[in-house]
Amino acid sequence: MKWNILKARENQYKEIKEEVKRKISLVSEEVLYLSEETDASVKQLIENGQFVKMQIATRAEQPLRSKTMAEEGQKRMQILTE
């Protein structure tokens, strides 16, 4: 009788152990998936940040170009009027 009880407990322990292993495996897979998604998102953010940085730099240069062109135009107008 005791042997049957011990065997039943041992079987129950094995089942619980296997269930815990399955759940740990599922959680590990989910963590891996989330980690890969996060990595992809961070890479996309970096790319977008670099694009925005380039756009800002380009737009910052435009007023300087306009000023330079206006000054050159003024000089040419002076030369033409002289």
pLDDT of residue 51: 92
The per-residue pLDDT for range 2-60, each reduced to its tens digit, is 888 889 999 999 999 999 999 999 999 999 999 999 999 999 999 999 999 999 888 88
pLDDT of residue 27: 97
Q: Which amino acid is at 71?
A: E
* Residue 75 vs residues 36, 64, 65, 68, 70: alpha-carbon distances, Å: 59, 17, 15, 11, 9
Question: Binning pLDDT at 50, 70 and 90, where does residue 81 land?
Answer: confident
pLDDT of residue 2: 80
Residue 82, classed as helix, strand or coil, is coil
Q: pTM of the prediction? A: 0.57
